[in-house]
Amino acid sequence: MSFIQRAFQTMHPAAQVVFLACLVLTLMAVAAFAGMLWAAGGDVAAMQSMVTSGMDALDRSDILAMNNLNQLLAFFGASWAFAALVGSDHLGRFFTGAPTWGMVVLAAALAIGMSPVLDLTYRLNEWALVPGSALHTWAGALEAQAMAMTKTILDLDNGPGLVAVLVSVAVLPALCEEWLFRGTLQPVLARGTGNLHVAIWVSATLFSAIHMQFFGFIPRLLLGALFGYLVAYSGSIWPAVVGHFVNNAGVVIVAAWMGPEWFEQGLEPQDLTAWEAADWAQAAGCLVLLVWALHTFGQRGDSAFYTSALGPSED
């Protein structure tokens, strides 16, 4: 083991997390600069104009390109840069071992079945921010910006087609975000705290927060925890990648299938006042299934996951 790896492995876990965060934020800034420069055709003056005009100055192709850069450079790149410094063995080699097909199918099924739970918790999340408060207004403004960008990306009648959108919205986030949060951050937190559950939920919290969409903070937190427990239970990152992909790709496929009419109501969670008894029963059933899955995955993870896959730190 090199001197540099030894130094990073013996660094306090909190300092490791801070360093990883600095890597991510720095590379996010680099990705944003490169994306804006590319969108401006290399013209620095035009890029400055685009910065002052905000995202409205970007067309759909530019938004997809910038998102791809951010995923590859800030999330995937930061993971590999951190692994080069601390040693990939220290992170369990990102848990890239092959899972069973049963775990892959289960991950996809859970991602699909989460839809009613996400719909319910989105509304509860919005109410928890207290409508009319300064926090609710601030979160609402961020949500409106994200919604406008999402509608632009999913307008498949203009610009890049379905495959390009699937790559940008589903493939890259599933791979790059899981590599960072479940393949890199989660093992660091598990080593530092000695508690798998703390590692999973803190990773899921940061995963949700970095999206800067706080009306959907709780739903995304639950998804992140589910992905974390999938990794812990299976010993492989791939079920989480599959679940993440299915969740994101579902929105793209529905948008392509239903067309422009879906944008008026499909992106907004259904108002709970419109729910019927069957909707509540489905949401309750899915919530029970989610709690059972997290409990089951957590029991398996506590006994076998990090103790065997991570092993002791090298001195």
pLDDT above 80: residue 233:
yes
Number of other CB atoms surrounding residue 133 within 10 Å: 10
- Whether residue 107 contacts residue 239, with contact meaning beta carbons closer than 8 Å, is answered with yes
The model's pLDDT over 91-125, given as tens digits with 9 standing for 90+, comes to 888 888 888 899 899 899 889 888 878 877 887 88
In a domain, 46, yes or no: no
Number of structural domains found in the chain: 1
In a domain, 215, yes or no: yes
pLDDT band at residue 302 using 50, 70 and 90 as cut-offs: very low
Phi-psi region at 40: left, alpha or beta (left = phi > 0; alpha = psi -120 to 50): alpha
**Using CA atoms, how far apart are residues 132 and 129, in angstroms rounded to an integer?**
9
In a domain, 81, yes or no: no
Rank 25-39, 75-89, 283-297 by mean pLDDT and report only the highest: 75-89
Only one residue has tokens 């995923």, namely 71
What percent of the chain has a predicted confidence (pLDDT) above 70?
A: 81
Cα dihedral sign, 20-26-29-34: negative
Residue 77: its pLDDT value, please?
96
In a domain, 279, yes or no: yes
In a domain, 54, yes or no: no
Residue type, 101: W
Of 62-71, 106-115, 299-308, least confident by mean pLDDT is 299-308
Among candidates 223, 173, 175, which has minimal Cα distance to 203? 223
Q: How many CA atoms lie within 13 A of 273 on its CB side?
A: 0
In a domain, 314, yes or no: no
**Using CA atoms, how far apart are residues 204 and 200, in angstroms rounded to an integer?**
6
pLDDT above 70: residue 181:
yes
- Whether residue 121 contacts residue 297, with contact meaning beta carbons closer than 8 Å, is answered with no
**SS3 label, residue 243:** helix
- Whether residue 129 contacts residue 136, with contact meaning beta carbons closer than 8 Å, is answered with yes
The model's pLDDT over 210-224, given as tens digits with 9 standing for 90+, comes to 998 888 899 999 999
**Using CA atoms, how far apart are residues 33 and 37, in angstroms rounded to an integer?**
6
**Using CA atoms, how far apart are residues 270 and 288, in angstroms rounded to an integer?**
20
pLDDT above 60: residue 297:
yes
pLDDT above 60: residue 173:
yes
In a domain, 271, yes or no: yes
In a domain, 285, yes or no: yes
Length of the chain as a residue count: 315
- Whether residue 69 contacts residue 34, with contact meaning beta carbons closer than 8 Å, is answered with yes
pLDDT band at residue 298 using 50, 70 and 90 as cut-offs: low
- The token pair at 159 is 């610009």
pLDDT band at residue 30 using 50, 70 and 90 as cut-offs: very high
- The token pair at 47 is 């890029």
Of 49-53, 199-203, 262-266, least confident by mean pLDDT is 262-266
Higher per-residue confidence, 307 vs 8? 8
Among candidates 60, 56, 99, 16, which has minimal Cα distance to 297? 99
State the DSSP string of 9-30: HSS-HHHHHHHHHHHHHHHHHH
The model's pLDDT over 184-209, given as tens digits with 9 standing for 90+, comes to 999 999 888 888 889 999 999 999 99
Domain span at residue 132? 95-309
- The token pair at 78 is 């930061």
Is residue 267 exposed (0-12), middle (13-18) or buried (19+ Cβ within 10 Å)? middle
